[in-house]
Chains A and B, each alone.
Chain A
Amino acid sequence: MKNPWRADFPQLKPGRTYLDSAAMSLKPQSVIDAVTGYYRDLSVNIHRSLYEESLTATNLYEAARREVATLINADSDEIVFTRGATDALNLVASAYGKFLGPGDEIITSELEHHSSYLPWRQVAEATGASLRFIPLTETGRITLEGFISVLTAKTKVVALTHVSNVMGYLTPIQPIIDLARSQGAITVIDCAQSIYSEALDVRMLGVDFLAFSGHKMLGPTGIGVLFGRRQLLNQLDPVAFGGDMNDFVTKTEVVWKDAPYRFEAGTMPVASAIGLGEAVRYLKRVGLEAIDRHIKQLYRFTYAQLKKLEGLSIYNPDTDKGIITFNLTGVPSHDAVSYYAEQGVMLRSGHHCAQLVSGFLGIDSSLRASFHLYSDYEDADRFLQVTREAIAFFRKLGF
């Protein structure tokens, strides 16, 4: 069956098998055109000037914000453009962390990417608040029961991943957010891995903050999003100061703009934001459900064959999102990934910026293969073939 979207991605080349989409998605031609179109035809600043090109650029930038807003059923002024999910999560921690103090508790988990965990670890150190880790199930899942066991009246912040970038597990965020709210805690959800294949409705979820990156959702690098509830965003002080984020500046007084602009100091990555808007349009055309279904089909096809091979361990056989994390038995992941690389199969090795997960699994590092909407059965076949060869290669060497 031919993949109908594959031709939209000019990066895909014969003989190259890209299975590192959980780190970075490829970009469709329409996104590339939007970015280069801005540079070619406009290349001027936004929000500041009254000539036609600047107004056009401003319109494109704000249209991108609206595209993102409608994707998650938010209002435009609740969408803050950032450098990426990392930047967005740091923004919340820096701005909201000030309200915490000794005795307060922050709930997090061992499944977190460092960008979800480390900002709150810093907040805990600076304020005297303490971190509580949700006890994971035997296979490493976050469950509602686990969450309840650490939720107390002292909980002020719940910072969790929606989909683990290592295990591909989907966190049951709806009941977690409901319970957190009933305790008066704010919720911060890292949606970097879920945004392109999971429909999110911030109104229905009742979530306070939500973060994601452009570069995992077919968009450019250097752009990401922080969603925050309007009322909360406007209670927060800016964390970066400069041009365009204030209404009024004198020697004695400063008035910040309302959100989102108070958080967008200086010249923003205009081209990347416009490219992200185009990526969202592309995702909407394809449909998140179709993407999810496609990734799951490819995953099931691959996993069914992979699990039959002797000489490897799969750490997340019950993944929800088509991420395969594994090791070849007795072969350090860096040795293995070199073999795949030489055969044109692009995987990730290491701890995937989520070292707490490696700790939970009791391993130093692992290999990760991940699919996206442009992946196809040829990619899966090639991956399986090279895996068989790799096992034989390292076995012959006596690993």
Chain B
Amino acid sequence: MAQLENLYREIILEHFKHPRNKGLLDVSGARSYRYKNPSCGDDVTIQTKVEAGHVVLCRHEGTGCSICCASASVLTETMLGLPVAKAEKTAKAYVAMVRNEPFDEDVDLGEAEVFQGVRLFPARTKCASIAWLAFLETIKEDE
């Protein structure tokens, strides 16, 4: 049982039980993106507002497994206050990390580092990444 136990690190459980920045706000200028994984029931929406090149609001809403919910909560804390360019770099590094792909190890992932345990559970990669992928959609340049 050692392996699965490693996945459920204290920080992850803490964010699952007490999610930060949960619930979308009715504010102007914010962008939302919903991401679903129908095969397992994960369903997460990320709401972001960028002002003067910085993430000034980052919230999440949805349902899913502990890894999905906790990673959404950690995402919002990681991103708040970051310059958009750095936020994008951070999110991309995180997604590569949980997918067990090469990633920029100089990027400071902070608490999100805890999700590296997901690499040992390929079936849970999607759970750990959908909130972050949704976040990347919310900061995409308008086409």
Contact = CB atoms under 8 A, between A and B. Distances in A.
Interface of A: 332-335, 337-339, 341-342, 349-351, 355, 364-365, 393, 397-399
11 contacts: A332-B69, A334-B41, A334-B64, A335-B65, A342-B3, A342-B4, A350-B38, A351-B38, A364-B64, A365-B40, A399-B66
Contact of B40 (A334, A355, A393): A334
A393 B8 CA distance: 11
A350 B43 CA distance: 12
B4 A332 contact: no
Contacts of A349: 40-41
Interface in B47-101: 63-69
B20 to A, nearest CB: 17
Nearest to A331: B66
Given A332-B64, A335-B67, 8 more contacts: A332-B63, A333-B40, A334-B64, A334-B65, A334-B124, A349-B41, A351-B38, A364-B41
Contacts of B42: 334
Contacts of A350: 38-41
Interface residues of B, number: 24
B3 to A, nearest CB: 7
Lowest 5 CB-CB distances: which A-B pairs, in order?
A365-B41, A334-B65, A332-B65, A334-B40, A364-B41
Given A334-B64, A334-B127, A350-B38, A364 B43 contact: yes
Interface string B24-50: 000000000000001111110000000
Contacts of B67: 334-335
Nearest to A332: B65
Give the interface centre of A334, A341, A342 by most chain B CB atoms within 10 Å: A334
A332 B42 CA distance: 9
Interface string B108-143: 000000000000010110010000000000000000
A137 B4 CA distance: 40
Given A333-B40, A338-B4, A364 B121 contact: no
Contacts of B64: 332, 334, 364
Given A332-B65, A338-B121, A339-B4, A397 B13 contact: yes
A332 to B, nearest CB: 4
Contacts of B65: 332-335
